[in-house]
A and B are shown apart, each in its own frame.
Chain A
Amino acid sequence: MYKSVVYKEWLKIRWAYAAMILISVLALGNTILNLKSVVRFHSPVAVWSAVILQSYLFYDIFRFVPLLVALVIAASQFVPEVHSSRLKLSLHLPVRENTIVMQMLSVGLIGVALIYAFIGLALSIITAVNFPTEVLTSMLLTIAPWFLAGVVGYLALATAIVEPRWIRRVILVIVGYGFVDTLLVLGTFKMYERVLPQLTMLGSFFTLGILLSAYRFRRGVR
């Protein structure tokens, strides 16, 4: 049955997914070109010291790409479900309601995670080729909250779409925005290094949110 859910979700998101891969590739290309041009116009030593002294984020564009990827995939997955109350079809399938919702969610999250893994791997290669290992570690710890922001953005938007009441939708968007905005604050390198596990735990509570919203939808809350 999970295979069928994957099949349905894939049919919904495939074009959006392809577009998000393309955007990720373009952003990676932009990062490489930027890095090359900066090295060309400044001395390599100056660029090195800027990166090592942690004042230049050559991958800054990836602050928003993971969030964009997550939001687009969440919307392409769940908007068709709530349009004309189509979610009733999924919830009427002979599977426990929470199970079917979690399965749908897992397809989206795995899709998002695969793109994040691709971005992370590509950025790691770019960094490892041009800079010492310390910079690679620093880069990974810096982008981790951005990826977390994407996951939380995905869960918050999916929950807001499924939620039947507008007032709750607005509250969910505000809470989700606050959480995501905090994670995307551009401060220093490795800004959330010490609290990343706690933030991840906190973000995972949004999973309960979508289960609750789906339950409310099922019970006919309007």
Chain B
Amino acid sequence: MMEYAVECKNLTHYYGTRLVFENMNFNVRRGSIFGLLGKNGTGKTTTINILNGFLSPTGGQCLVFGEDSRNLSPATKARMGFLIEGHIQYSFMNIRQIEKFYSCFFPKWNKEPYYELMAKLEVTENQKLSTMSCGQRSQVALGLILAQDPDLMVLDDYSMGLDAGYRRLFLDYLTEYAHGEGKTIFITSHIIQDLEAFMDDCVIIDYRSVLVTMSLKQFRAEFKRYSFDVTNPALKLVKDGVVKNFELIRTHASIYSFNPLPEVEHYLNAHGVEFSGLHEVPMSLEDAFIGITGKY
């Protein structure tokens, strides 16, 4: 049995002459929850489109269960559940019709989780998807994926347009599904803090490059923010092996780094920075994400 559900090897993509990312490498372990994180326009949906075979990469390749994503077989597609950004589904169908439609295509179809989820919504079986709220449509899309019982779920920005309640409901069902049945989930979202207790591994991408590929536990343990005061309000520190990001507001500075505090202290001294009060500041996942990608 293959160790990875998804393998991206030297993935490179251009839109015309605009580079989206270059030589992106990551693997998604079977049975893990993998988050693809990045700011708007960094290539999250592009990656998902490549993974699903809806885009041919300019270079490199993406393997899904060992198959090149450019030529996914029907058998492999049956093992992949796909949530399109914006929870797109057949809006001309109603709740019953859409379940009936999909049920014939998937050998492991189980309508129970779908109708269980629908029972939580204030909708009737004959209600068309086009008349539902964004939150309700998200649950229909999720219910259909759960009924499909895929081995790999690819969820493109599941949180788009959802309030806190629907986001929680979505993740609660996913957690139950993933951990209860050993499924693999590949997820992207703008709401980073929701994924904090959910993800196992992550890749953080920025414009044209990959910033981090590691387990969430390792990232949370190793990536640090150090604050200190400086005497020079015009101080500039260039990103390098130690400094992953540097922020300065008046005389209050922060360094984001994978290095421990003594090494950062040594770095500042070595660069002739006059500083005081150097200390580590605890971060949430969102703080860490902003720390490594920058605020703008």
Measured CB to CB, the residues of A under 8 A from B are: 1, 3-4, 7-8, 11-12, 80, 84-86, 88-89, 91-96, 218-220, 222
Contacts and interface: CB of A to CB of B under 8 A. Distances in A.
A94 B104 contact: no
A73 B89 CA distance: 21
B294 interface: no
B45 to A, nearest CB: 11
A8 B90 contact: yes
Contacts of A94: 74-75, 77-78, 105-106
The A interface, classified by DSSP as helix, strand, loop or mixed, is: helix
**What are the 9 tightest A-B residue pairs by CB atom distance, in nearest-first order?**
A220-B55, A94-B78, A94-B74, A4-B104, A94-B77, A84-B88, A219-B56, A93-B105, A92-B82
Contacts of A12: 92
B92 A80 contact: yes
A94 B102 CA distance: 10
Contacts of B101: 4, 7-8
B254 interface: no
B54 A88 contact: yes
Given A94-B74, A220-B49, A220-B54, A4 B86 contact: no
B149 to A, nearest CB: 13
B105 A95 contact: yes
A11 B97 contact: yes
A195 to B, nearest CB: 40
Nearest to A86: B88
Contact of B77 (A4, A84, A86, A92): A92
A89 B55 contact: no
Given A11-B97, A88-B84, A94-B74, 5 more contacts: A1-B105, A11-B92, A95-B74, A218-B54, A220-B56
Contact of A89 (B49, B75, B88): B88
Interface string B64-80: 00000010001101101
Contacts of A11: 90, 92-93, 97
24 contacts: A1-B105, A4-B100, A4-B101, A4-B102, A4-B104, A7-B97, A8-B93, A11-B92, A80-B91, A85-B84, A86-B90, A89-B84, A89-B88, A91-B54, A94-B75, A94-B77, A94-B78, A95-B74, A95-B105, A96-B74, A218-B53, A219-B55, A219-B56, A222-B15
B254 to A, nearest CB: 40
Interface of B: 15, 49, 52-56, 70, 74-75, 77-78, 80, 82, 84, 86, 88-93, 97, 100-106
Residue of A86, A218, A220 ringed by the most chain B CB atoms within 10 A: A220
A86 B84 CA distance: 9
Given A11-B97, A220-B56, A93 B90 contact: no
A92 B105 CA distance: 11
A85 B104 CA distance: 22
Contacts of B56: 219-220
A84 B86 contact: yes
A89 to B, nearest CB: 7
B192 to A, nearest CB: 26
Contacts of A3: 104
A94 B105 CA distance: 7
Contacts of B100: 4, 7
A1 B100 CA distance: 11
Contacts of A218: 53-54
A12 B128 CA distance: 12
B131 to A, nearest CB: 15
Residue of A1, A3, A92, A96 ringed by the most chain B CB atoms within 10 A: A92
A86 B101 CA distance: 15
